[in-house]
Amino acid sequence: MAVTTVKSTRTPKAPAPPAPAFSPDDIRGDFPILQITSHGRRLAYLDNAATSQKPQAVIAAMTRFYNSQNANIHRGVYELSTQATAAYEIARDRVRQFINAADVREIVFVRGATEAINLVAASWGGTNVRSGDEIILSTLEHHSNIVPWQMLAQRVGAVLRVIPINDAGELCLEQYEKLLNPRTRLVAITHVSNALGTINPVRQMVRLAHAAGALALVDGAQSVPHLPIDVRAIDCDFFVFSGHKICGPTGIGVLYARQPILQAMPPYQGGGDMIETVTFDQTTYAPAPQKFEAGTPNISGALGLAAALDYITGIGLDRIGGYERQLLLYAQEKLTRIKGLKIVGTAADKAAVISFVLSYAHPHDVGTILDGQGVAIRTGHHCCQPVMDRYGIPATARASLAFYNTREDVDQLVLGLEKVKEVFH
């Protein structure tokens, strides 16, 4: 069965009045988990770069599906199945609107950004990258945007080139320009570094990639929760993100690809629902995006993601970004007062992520002690070992902020770090 195309019916609206100032106190009640305690203390959840918390609207959307809509999609002629199919395809169009893709057929549902990158590497890369071709990555990349390309390069004899970073954690763009050459087939870059928070100038980088005759993939896993995304303005060929980092459920993500590129790519996996005809002699495939969604998909996850995007849109990413920048400045100012603490990654343009080290305590010890104070942070290399190697450190402690975090959360972090100091002194 072909994918149902849902057309947008937007009508021009009068300019909206200025949005009221954002306060996290207005929305914290929407998140059930923020009401719990940890080790008998108020929970200060500061691990949003790993996964975000889920508002009741997302939980309700998924519960509603299982309570009253649960059926397999694209396969049934009965009412429940057609309702589930329509809801799934409406969710696909909701994603299209959120990132301003040109066509709903450019949206592929996957398990997350990691699977999306692997899909591109296996399908597009396996078809278009040959021995001697080059793929450009950056030092800032998450392992999920390194390992699939490394595997592809080893398989076909291609070469990986890496854009270095300066001490602040910013890409050396002059070095990037020097790396581009006629052998460059793809530039795959993160939009926002999960380890340092650096926001990369992806529009400029995509433009330079195209000028060199290469395609460009942007890993938006860390940018979609913080920045308005317009894939047509970025002009990227591929864009990937995970639902669970933008208040959606785990196990659902998105691959955006330009329609001509996606249609030319071979299937990534075989199975049910991605075919038109099957015989033992030959199989013909459904058009994209369905040919990349073999088997029963995460239907409830897609509906939960759509609910999350509705929730975020209702607040407004401009308001979210503005508030998070203020909270980031407050947190950085507080943390820099702590003796022996060094922030790793001080880019001029960064999202609400603070990686730091203490001269007298290992990051894992810091995280353990903070946990006892009700503060949840991430410690380790954050799946970014090349970043750690660049700074000559094994790991950092990372506090990553979201729009539902408050100054009280930051203050609780600072008090927890004072407890760390007491333990080690």
**Nearest to residue 242, comparing CAs of 320, 145, 355?**
145
Work out the number of other CB atoms within 10 angstroms of the CB of residue 338. 15
DSSP 402: -
Residues near 303 by Cβ (< 8 Å), separated by ≥ 6?
A: 61, 62, 65, 87, 88, 91
Task: Give the three-class secondary structure for 262.
Answer: helix
Q: How far is 68 from 70, CA to CA, in rounded Å?
A: 6
Contact 351, 197 (CB under 8 A): yes
Reference 189, options 139, 148, 248, 230; nearest CA is: 139
Q: CA-to-CA distance for 213 and 393, rounded, in angstroms? A: 37
SS3 state at 181: coil
144 vs 383: CA distance, rounded Å: 8
Q: Kindly provide the residue ranges of all beta strands, DSSP E only, lying in 4-133, ordered along the sequence.
A: 37-38, 41-42, 44-45, 107-110
The closest alpha carbon to 159, from 124, 135, 140, 126, belongs to: 135
User: Residue 181 carries which side chain, given as an amino acid letter?
Assistant: N
What are 78's strand-pairing partners?
none
- Are the CB atoms for 245 and 219 separated by under 8 Å? no
Question: Catalytic annotation on 172?
Answer: no
Question: Residue 237 has which token pair?
Answer: 């060929």
Is residue 46 a contact partner of residue 405, using CB atoms and an 8 Å limit?
A: yes
- CA distance to 111, 126, 253, 299, per residue, from 293 (Å): 10, 18, 12, 11
Residue 98 corresponds to which tokens in the numbers above? 């959120």
Which of 236, 247, 383, 384 is catalytic? The answer is 383
Q: State the catalytic residues.
A: 383
